[in-house]
Chains A and B, each alone.
Chain A
Amino acid sequence: MEKLIVSPSPHMRSGMTTQKIMLNVIIALCPAVIASGIIFGLRAIFLILVCVATSLVWETLFNIITKKPNTISDLSAVVTGILLAFNLPPSLPFWMAAIGTFVAIVIVKCLFGGLGQNFANPAIVGRIVLMLSFTGAMTNWTLPQAFQITDAVTSVTPLVNQKEDYLDLFLGMTGGCLGETCALALIIGGIYLIIRRIISPITPLFFLLTVEVFSVVAGADPLYQILSGGVLLGAIFMATDYVTTPITFWGKVIFGIGCGIITCVIRFYASMAEGVSFSILIMNILTPYIDMITKAKPVGAVYAKKKEE
Chain B
Amino acid sequence: MSLNCIKIPHKKNTENCKTKRYTIPKTVSIPMCQHMGAPCEPLVSVGDEVKVGQKIGDSEAFMSTPVHSSVSGKVIEIENILFANGRECKSVKIECDRKQTVSENVKPPVITDKVSFIKAVRESGCCGLGGAGFPTHIKLNFDENKTPVDNLVINAAECEPYITSDYREMMEDPEDVINGIKTIQKMLKIEKVYLCIEGNKPKAIDLLSNMTSKDNSIKVVKLSSLYPQGAEKVIAYNATGRTVREGELPLNQGIIVINVSTVAFLNRYFKTGMPLTWRRITIDGDAVKSPCNVKVPIGVSIAELLKFAQCDESKVKKVLTGGLMMGMCVYDLNTPVIKTNNAVLALKKDKKSPQTNCIRCGRCINACPAGLMPTELEKAYAQKDADRLKSLRVNLCMNCGSCSYVCPAKRNLAETNQLAKLFVSEKG
Contacts and interface: CB of A to CB of B under 8 A. Distances in A.
A301 interface: yes
Contacts of A71: 356
Contacts of B325: 9-12
B371 A17 contact: no
Interface string B339-372: 0000000010011010011111111010001111
Interface in A1-20: 1-14, 16-18, 20
B365 A296 contact: yes
B331 A18 contact: no
A10 B408 contact: no
The 10 closest A-B CB pairs, nearest first, are A10-B401, A116-B357, A6-B329, A298-B393, A12-B324, A247-B362, A8-B415, A299-B371, A18-B356, A300-B245
A12 B405 contact: yes
Nearest to B320: A11
A31 interface: no
A116 B363 CA distance: 14
Given A16-B406, A298-B370, A11 B327 contact: yes
A290 to B, nearest CB: 12
Contacts of B406: 14, 16
B394 to A, nearest CB: 9
Given A116-B358, A247-B360, A297-B371, A13 B353 contact: yes
29 contacts: A4-B318, A4-B319, A4-B332, A6-B329, A7-B329, A8-B415, A10-B404, A11-B324, A12-B161, A13-B407, A13-B410, A16-B408, A18-B356, A18-B408, A20-B408, A242-B361, A243-B360, A247-B373, A295-B373, A295-B392, A297-B371, A298-B246, A298-B370, A299-B237, A299-B369, A300-B243, A300-B370, A301-B371, A301-B396
Contacts, number: 152
Contacts of A4: 316-319, 329-333
Given A7-B329, A12-B161, A298-B371, A242 B314 contact: no
B326 interface: yes
Nearest to B237: A299
Chain A contact residues: helix, strand, loop or mixed: loop
A41 interface: no
Nearest to B244: A300
A287 B407 CA distance: 21
B245 A302 contact: yes
A113 interface: yes
B247 interface: yes
Contacts of A21: 359, 361, 408
Given A116-B358, A242-B362, A11 B347 contact: yes
A6 B347 CA distance: 12
B90 interface: no
A309 B317 CA distance: 56
Contacts of A300: 233, 243-246, 248, 370, 396
B8 A243 contact: no
Contacts of B243: 299-300
Nearest to A199: B361
A301 B325 CA distance: 25
A300 to B, nearest CB: 4
A11 B70 CA distance: 31
Given A242-B361, A243-B359, A301 B246 contact: yes
Interface string A13-39: 110111011000000000000000000
Contacts of B3: 299
A9 B360 contact: no
Nearest to A302: B246
B132 interface: no
Contacts of B324: 9-12
Given A10-B325, A300-B233, 8 more contacts: A1-B314, A10-B404, A11-B320, A16-B363, A18-B409, A295-B392, A301-B396, A302-B246
B328 interface: yes
A5 B245 contact: no
Contacts of B409: 17-18, 116
A201 interface: no
Given A10-B324, A300-B244, A300-B246, A113 B357 contact: yes
Contacts of B373: 247, 295-296
Contacts of A117: 357
A5 B345 CA distance: 13
